Structure 1
Amino acid sequence: MSTLARRLPLGVSHPTAADRVRQTLVIAGTVVALAGAVVGSGLVGGTPIPKVAGGALGPDATLVSPAGPAFSIWSVIYLGLVAYAIWQALPSQAARPRQRAIGYWMLASLLLNAAWILSVQAGLLAVSVGVIAALLVVLIVTFVRLRRDPAGTTADAVLLDGTAGLYLGWVMVATVANVAAALVAADVGRLGISPHVWGMAVIVVVAIIGCALAVWDGGRFAPSLASAWGLAWIGVARLTGALQSPTVAVTAIAAAALILLVTVAVRVTRGSDGARRS
């Protein structure tokens, strides 16, 4: 038996040319996403996201727009994506089933991320809604695939599940804010319903989805923390910004707290059930 064969973990096959291609493309996709982020920050040739399309994505554009500091979560997400890209490129990761299962989905998320930034830079809010909706679907598929094959190492849990979870949780909130911004910019009517009621209703839907996700995935903290983070900053924006709404603020903060409480409860219950079964 060769030395390489002895070093392969049980159940892992030899790397193939397709594995090397996937690893290389993920690295390239990460570079594209980072370039998009630099443009979107306004540092190189672009306009800061809150100022694009006449401020349609700014913190006071709609009642479900998060306050500016909420977007600092992107620094953590990008750091996780870079660490994931480097890690997945290691020879030891090339043929792992988990990497094969989600590699191209993560690549798609990176490219869609860059495409979203380019679309809003061009002022194409309607297009950006389609792009971020596609990004959300891709991240859901990624998360489902990861759940089917539980993490076996700390690196798996942090660099795959953690990064994908934060990414998904934030994009859930960002999708709602993006859709609301596009509708307001297009002057779509509210069917005679108060915008404050609309804002509360949308936040309740996000809370329900966030809680359902926490129950389904066994109480993973990453998606819950990211979605609660976004909701909490919506609450802050509605209390302190130019577009204030105490009712929406309270709803958003309560929704953030509820998602975290449900997540903790699920983890505690799962731990207790495991103890009773052991």
Structure 2
Amino acid sequence: MDRGAPATSDRIRQVVVAVLAIAQAVVTTVTGARIREQVDGGQRSPVEPAAWAFAIWGLIFALCIGYGVWQARPSAATASLLRRVGWPTAGAFLTIVGWSLAVPLGLFWLAQLVLLATWAFLAVAAFRLADEAVRRPLSAAEQWCVALPLAPFFGWVTAANGVSLHGQAIDLGVVGPEGLASRLLGATLLLAAGAVAAYIVVRTRVGPPLFCGIYSATIGWAIVGIVVAQWGVEPLIVAAAVVAAVPTMVAVVRVGSLPQPPPAQGTGAA
């Protein structure tokens, strides 16, 4: 639903979102080699996914750029959905820029805080997306250009925080890279990430099915990456990763069997 003539703040929001959507991809690409050097040079975490799993960032960046360009259209300035999710997504893009600068500098504690902030921004955007879908039916363009980019981004960052927190615990000396304590902590973080993912599915069940489906598939992608990387090496981690997928799978099945609430009356399409 559009709300009158665009304000200056609407135009500023559009520009900021578009610029940061591109900036996160550019900065991460430029610093990618240094990020890889820092990761490879550090102590390996037993919960780290296979290297190929990180290729999902290419998809995430491409979808986010598409979203940034789409929401920057003059006619989209007053769209209610974009007003609600614009600044949270801009915050997520900005924090990824910060993460991509912190890791090459070896500021892993700062990178972890920034990654948690990314998750928080994406959570706000996802919840607002779902709430908007309760108010009115989302257009096909909104689902493909907003819900679709948001889903894999949020899903991957959900999983990434669990893995990153374990790596941070190793860096701080809380646990070693090997040993029972490290494995138990890794398993616990994976199970916690699985529980959080299940909650997200339930919380956003009133939103576009496309969002829940892609979000859940991204969690599955991360889990498969962990299982493949640790198969035959870390049986406890593999078992925990498989179990961590169960709450999300149950939530998806449960949500799929529930009737969707009708949108509120008196609202128009964006």
Q: Is the structural similarity TM-score above 0.5?
A: yes
Q: Distance in 2 between matches of 1:61 and 1:193?
A: 15
Q: Which amino acid aligns with 1:63?
A: P
Query: Could you tell me which of 190, 197, 202 is aligned with 1:210?
Result: 197
Q: What are the superposed Cα offsets for residues 27-84 of structure 1, whole Å, 9 maximum, x if unpaired?
A: 2212321221212322xxxx1x33215533xxx8112211111111111111110110
Aligned to 2:267: none
Aligned to 2:114: 131
Name stretches of at least 5 consecutive residues in structure 2 with no aligned partner: 263-270
Q: What are the superposed Cα offsets for residues 184-203 of structure 1, whole Å, 9 maximum, x if unpaired?
A: 1221247x963222222211
Q: Any conservation in 2 of the 1:163–1:222 contact (CA below 8 Å)?
A: no
Query: Could you tell me which of 174, 178, 187 is aligned with 1:200?
Result: 187
Once the two structures are superposed, the pairs formed by residues 30-179 of structure 1 within 5 Å of their partners are 30-42=21-33, 47=34, 49-52=35-38, 55-56=41-42, 61-150=44-133, 152-179=138-165
| Secondary structure at the counterpart of residue 258 of structure 2 | helix
| Secondary structure at the counterpart of residue 188 of structure 2 | helix
Q: What are the superposed Cα offsets for residues 195-253 of structure 1, whole Å, 9 maximum, x if unpaired?
A: 2222222111111111122122216112211122112211111116xxx2012112213
Q: Any conservation in 2 of the 1:228–1:260 contact (CA below 8 Å)?
A: no
Q: Any conservation in 2 of the 1:29–1:110 contact (CA below 8 Å)?
A: yes
Q: Distance in 2 between matches of 1:138 and 1:246?
A: 34
Q: Distance in 2 between matches of 1:101 and 1:69?
A: 34
Superposed structure 1 runs of 4+ greater than 4 Å apart: none
Query: Could you tell me which of 26, 29, 35 is aligned with 2:20?
Result: 29
Task: Evaluate the alpha carbon distance shift between residue 228 and residue 92 of structure 1 in structure 2; reply closer, same or farther with a 3 A threshold.
Answer: same
Q: What's the offset of the Cα at 1:183?
A: 1.6
Equivalenced residue count is 252
Task: Evaluate the alpha carbon distance shift between residue 124 and residue 167 of structure 1 in structure 2; reply closer, same or farther with a 3 A threshold.
Answer: same
Task: Evaluate the alpha carbon distance shift between residue 79 and residue 54 of structure 1 in structure 2; reply closer, same or farther with a 3 A threshold.
Answer: closer
Q: Distance in 2 between matches of 1:245 and 1:199?
A: 10
| Secondary structure at the counterpart of residue 98 of structure 1 | helix
Aligned to 2:219: 227
Q: Distance in 2 between matches of 1:136 and 1:92?
A: 29
Q: What's the offset of the Cα at 1:93?
A: 0.8
CA-based RMSD:
2.2
Which has the greater radius of gyration?
A: 1
TM-score (norm 1): 0.83
Q: What are the superposed Cα offsets for residues 143-179 of structure 1, whole Å, 9 maximum, x if unpaired?
A: 1111110151112112212211211111011111112
Task: Evaluate the alpha carbon distance shift between residue 194 and residue 54 of structure 1 in structure 2; reply closer, same or farther with a 3 A threshold.
Answer: same
Q: Any conservation in 2 of the 1:228–1:257 contact (CA below 8 Å)?
A: no
Once the two structures are superposed, the pairs formed by residues 176-187 of structure 1 within 5 Å of their partners are 176-187=162-173
Q: Distance in 2 between matches of 1:61 and 1:22?
A: 40
Q: Distance in 2 between matches of 1:184 and 1:100?
A: 40
Q: Which amino acid aligns with 1:62?
A: S
| Secondary structure at the counterpart of residue 112 of structure 1 | helix
| Secondary structure at the counterpart of residue 5 of structure 2 | coil
Q: Which amino acid aligns with 1:227?
A: I
TM-score (norm 2): 0.85
Q: Identical aligned pairs, as a percentage?
A: 23
| Secondary structure at the counterpart of residue 61 of structure 1 | coil
